[in-house]
Structures are given as structure tokens and as C-alpha cells.
Structure 1
Amino acid sequence: MSSMETAAAFPLRAPPKLVTRITIVHLIEMIFAGILMVFLVLPAIFKFSLVNASFWQIYGRFYVTGLFGTFFYVALTLPLSVVLGFLMGWARVSRVRIFSWPASLYVNVFRGLPPLILVIFASLFGTNLVPQPIIDRFLSGFRRGDIAVGLAAIAIGMHSSAYQAEIFRAGFQSVPKGQLEAAQALGLRPWQGMRHVILPQTFRLSLPPLGNEFAGLIKDTSILAAIAGTDLVAKSRDLLGILPASGFPIFWIFAVWTVVAVTYFVLTYSVTRGLRLLERKFHTPGLEGISL
């Protein structure tokens, strides 16, 4: 077979430099469009400005506190949701019913409940479910309200883990069963075949939908504002609560929520874009991502 026929039969991917250049250009376009929208279009429509020094002098401390609160909740919920989702997804494809049935029940229950309901139940009754010795030993330095908010954040992570379990389940089932049999035929033990053959492909297949789920998890942390959390939405709402009595311009309301919206967009876009680049880096021809 000639080199031209080979190239036609097996098309090559774009060189990494070209992919990187296209990505950078696309990112610059998105940043420019965002700046144009935030600093020109929206202020012209709603008659407010985001470059007002007095506005940031007041809102700055609320914004920084809320942003760190959001980062804390994401750092608490994201690892928990990934670990639980992976274990539940693995259990769902198990042939041992003592593993698959409880995992299916877990997924169906947490997928069937709105995250706001889970947050309310966790904050109201969660502290009663934690054994008192654990509270005395590990949580004695926290107020009961802080513990309740932390448990509510964990509930959000468990809700996300139910969706991630379905993603990982689909990833496991997308890998042909013959590959594990082939690995065992080559002398690998079952756990070695799972580690070196099945799991790498499962994670590659699961990356696209996981990016969307991670972005949704970041946005779901804003629900904690309903129970006096310290996330960005809650702290921004605290500022808006004192605006009428403080004599500040009413257009600050639009400015505050515009900043909140832009911040969440930047966070979610960064996560989805980062995972997309990771997916492109580890992409294997013939191994396409799963769709749910």
C-alpha cells in the first residue's frame, strides 16, 4: 500500500501545535466577546457600570469572601462526588447483586430528588445523624450551623455522584468485554486487566459527560445560599439586603448579579474547557466518548 493510500485509510489528527493555536484563538474570541457584553452591552441596557470604584470598595470584601466560600464547597463536594460516583458505577455493573442492588437504589433515590430538597433535609436533620463522639472529637471547633451547611454541601456532592455513577457505568459497559478476556489470556490477573486495560478506557470515555456534570456541580453550590451558606450567591445577597437602607444606587443590584453570573460562567467554562483539552490529549482513535 502506498503512502498516499495509507494516509487516506488512516487519517492523521491535527498536530498538537495547531490544536493549541486554534484553542488559544477561540479562547481570545470568547474573552473579547465576554468583555464586550459585560462592560458595554449590559451597562448600556440596564444603565450601570462595573468599573465604579465605590461599588468595588463596598462589594469587594463580599465578593472575595463569597468566592472563597464557593471554592471551599467545590473542594468539599467534587472529590466526594467523583469517588462515590465511581464506586457506585462500578457496583452497578457488578454481577454480585449484594453490590448492584444497593448501588441502583442509591442512584435512583438521589437522582429522583431535587438538590434543594436534599440540602434542606441535610441541614435540618443531618446533625442528628452524626454520632456525638465524632462531633466532639473532630468537629468541636465548629458551630452547629456550620456543620449543617457542610452536611448540606455533602448532600449536593451525593446528588452529583448519582449522575456520575451513571456516567461511569456507561463507561464500563462501553469497553468491550473481550478486552478483559484478552488481557487474562496474556497472563494478566483480573485486577491487573481492570487496572491496565479497562479503567484507562473507562476514564477516557467518561471525560466528556463528566465535564458537564462538574460544571453543574459548581453551579449547584449556589443552592447553599438558601440555608445561609457562605458562597458567592449568599454573600452577594447579604450586600443587597443592606442596599436600600444604605443609600447606595439602585443599579448596583444589576451590577452585583452581573458579576455573580460572569464569575460562575468563568468557573464552569474553565472546567469544561479544561476537561475538553484533557480529552483531546488522551483521545484514542476509534475510542469515542459515551453519550447519555
Structure 2
Amino acid sequence: MQFDWAFFWKSLFTPSDTFLDGLVLTIAISVIAMVLATLVGLAIALMRRSRFAVVRWCAGFYIWVIRGTPLLVQLVIIYTGLAAIGLYQFHDASVLGLSVKAAVQAAIIGLTINESAFIAEIIRAGLDSVPKGQFEAAASLGMTPTRLMRFIIVPQSLRVMVPPMGNSFNGMMKTTSVLSVIGVSEMFLVTQQISSATFHTFEIFIVAAIYYLALTTVWTFIQAAIENRLTRQLGIEQRVTITQRLLGARRATGPVTATLQPHG
């Protein structure tokens, strides 16, 4: 069997409409699930910091279960398990004039639940990274809790949270390949279908790998820009370059601190 270069170049530069639809669906599911996972993760992280033990226990139990079970198992339980026990069955729906298939709905919910547990821990660690003394200093300046979070805690904790959250999104785009198990026509499942129809398995999967690499590389640029914006806001001179981000050649920075200043 020889490598079909003609098929490879054609698939790479002029992919079929089906392949492009799978690519768009991969991006859409990743973005929507990440936004929802961030909101759910924020709620769980705040529950972990609650003064009520029951609330903290519930949040900890959620994180323990979700982080301790495979995404693939969670997807099967959500999509087929709930229907099997008669609890809930997904159906195709129309959202803003767009038809959303049942499997896509289950995929978004599954990714949201799975990712939210990891994001909750990222947010908790980011909030805990701010020295406790700054809370006391802010109180001595008469800052309200809202102003404390807006001007002191959030800017510093975001600088800590953005890199791991960006890596989580990067990983999610690749993890969407497991959605094929519940019949979501994302890029990996479309690639499998093209492979079965053309018998050009090696060629089409290399094309898919290149497109996955392109997606994660584009996100790398976006993540670096976000991190650099945050460092400018905090007055940190060191910047994240694309070379450092792609090759991992990055010097360690000192702890991030901010000077408390009374506002208005």
C-alpha cells in the first residue's frame, strides 16, 4: 500500500463539506462547553469556600466523583444511561433557529460537567493564591467585598488561573474526539467515515491531526495574548512570547502582587 499524495493534498487544502462541518461542530462544542464549564466551575469553587460545611462537602463530593471517573463513561451514562432508567431522554431541539441533535446536547452537557470539576479546582487555587494579608489590608482601607474582589483579588487570581484554564480548553478541543462514541459528527467521527469510504486511512487521519494541531496552535496565540494583557494590567514586565509558549522555554516569574490603593 502506497501513500496517496494526491488524496492527501486534496483533503488538506480542499476538504469536503462534511469534514468542514465536523470541524465547525468541534469548535462550537468546545467553546460552548468551556463557557458553561467556567460558570459551573465558578459556582462549585465558591461552594468550596462556603462557611457551611454541608455546602463544602457537596462541592467536594462533586469534584471527587467527576474527576475520578472517565469522560467516556460519563457520556454514556448521560446519553444512554439516563434514558435506559427512564429518567431523561435527549431529543433533537431547535435553538435560535438552529437544529441541535440530541447527541450534541448530551455532548455539551457531558463536557461541561466533566470540565467544570477541573475548572473549579483551578479557580479555587487561583483565589487561594492571593495572600490573606491583602484581605485584611483591603478591610483596613474600607473596601467593600465587591470592590475587594474587583480591584484586588480577581486581577491577581486571573493571572494564576488563565494558563491552566487555557490548557484545559486546549485539551478539550482534542478530547471532543471521544464524542464519536455517542454518534456526534465531530471531526474525528467524520474522519473515520471518510476513511471507511475511501480506504485512505493513513492519509485522512494525518489531515485530521494537522487540523487538530492548527486549532490548538491558534488557541496558543490567543492564550498568550490574554496572558500578556493581564501582565500589563498588573505592571509585570515579562511577556509570554509565542516561542516560549510553543517550545516551553519560559523563565519562572516571581509571585504576583498588587499594591492596594483606595479607589474613589
Normalised by the size of structure 2, how large is the TM-score? 0.77
Q: What displacement does 1:157 show?
A: 1.8
Q: What displacement does 1:72 show?
A: 2.1
C-alpha distance in 2 between matches for 1:168 and 1:96: 19
Q: What displacement does 1:192 show?
A: 2.2
- 1:204 maps onto 2:152 in alignment: no
The runs of 5 or more residues in structure 2 that have no matched partner are 237-253, 258-264
C-alpha distance in 2 between matches for 1:56 and 1:136: 32
SS of 1:282's equivalent in the other structure is: helix
- 1:253 maps onto 2:201 in alignment: yes
C-alpha distance in 2 between matches for 1:267 and 1:63: 14
Q: How does 1:1-292 map to 2 (within 5 A)?
A: 47-49=3-5, 55=11, 59-126=15-82, 128-130=86-88, 146-243=101-198, 250=199, 252-283=200-231, 284=234, 285=236, 286-288=254-256
Cα deviation, 1:145-197, whole Å, max 9, x if unaligned, reads 92243123311121111111111111011001121221122111123212221
Q: What displacement does 1:224 show?
A: 0.8
Cα deviation, 1:48-103, whole Å, max 9, x if unaligned, reads 32676765799512211111111221132111111111221222123322331111
Q: What displacement does 1:279 show?
A: 1.1
**Relative to 1, partners in 2 of residues 1:50 and 1:207: Cα closer, same or farther, differing over 3 Å?**
farther
Normalised by the size of structure 1, how large is the TM-score? 0.70
Deviates more, 1:71-80 or 1:119-128: 119-128
Say whether the 8 Å CA contact 1:207–1:279 is kept in structure 2.
yes
Q: What displacement does 1:216 show?
A: 0.9
**Relative to 1, partners in 2 of residues 1:182 and 1:237: Cα closer, same or farther, differing over 3 Å?**
same
Say whether the 8 Å CA contact 1:120–1:152 is kept in structure 2.
no
Cα deviation, 1:98-133, whole Å, max 9, x if unaligned, reads 33111111111110010110111111034554499x
C-alpha distance in 2 between matches for 1:199 and 1:92: 17
C-alpha distance in 2 between matches for 1:52 and 1:278: 35
Say whether the 8 Å CA contact 1:86–1:165 is kept in structure 2.
yes
Letter in 2 for 1:190: P
Say whether the 8 Å CA contact 1:110–1:158 is kept in structure 2.
yes
Say whether the 8 Å CA contact 1:153–1:221 is kept in structure 2.
no
**Relative to 1, partners in 2 of residues 1:131 and 1:86: Cα closer, same or farther, differing over 3 Å?**
same
Question: Highest Rg: 1 or 2?
Answer: 1
Letter in 2 for 1:265: L
C-alpha distance in 1 between matches for 2:5 and 2:82: 42
| Count of aligned pairs | 234
C-alpha distance in 1 between matches for 2:109 and 2:146: 31
C-alpha distance in 1 between matches for 2:92 and 2:168: 35
Say whether the 8 Å CA contact 1:67–1:232 is kept in structure 2.
yes
Cα deviation, 1:182-228, whole Å, max 9, x if unaligned, reads 11221111232122211221111111111111111111111111111
Letter in 2 for 1:238: Q
The runs of 5 or more residues in structure 1 that have no matched partner are 1-45, 244-249
Say whether the 8 Å CA contact 2:29–2:108 is kept in structure 1.
yes
Identity %: 30
SS of 1:113's equivalent in the other structure is: coil
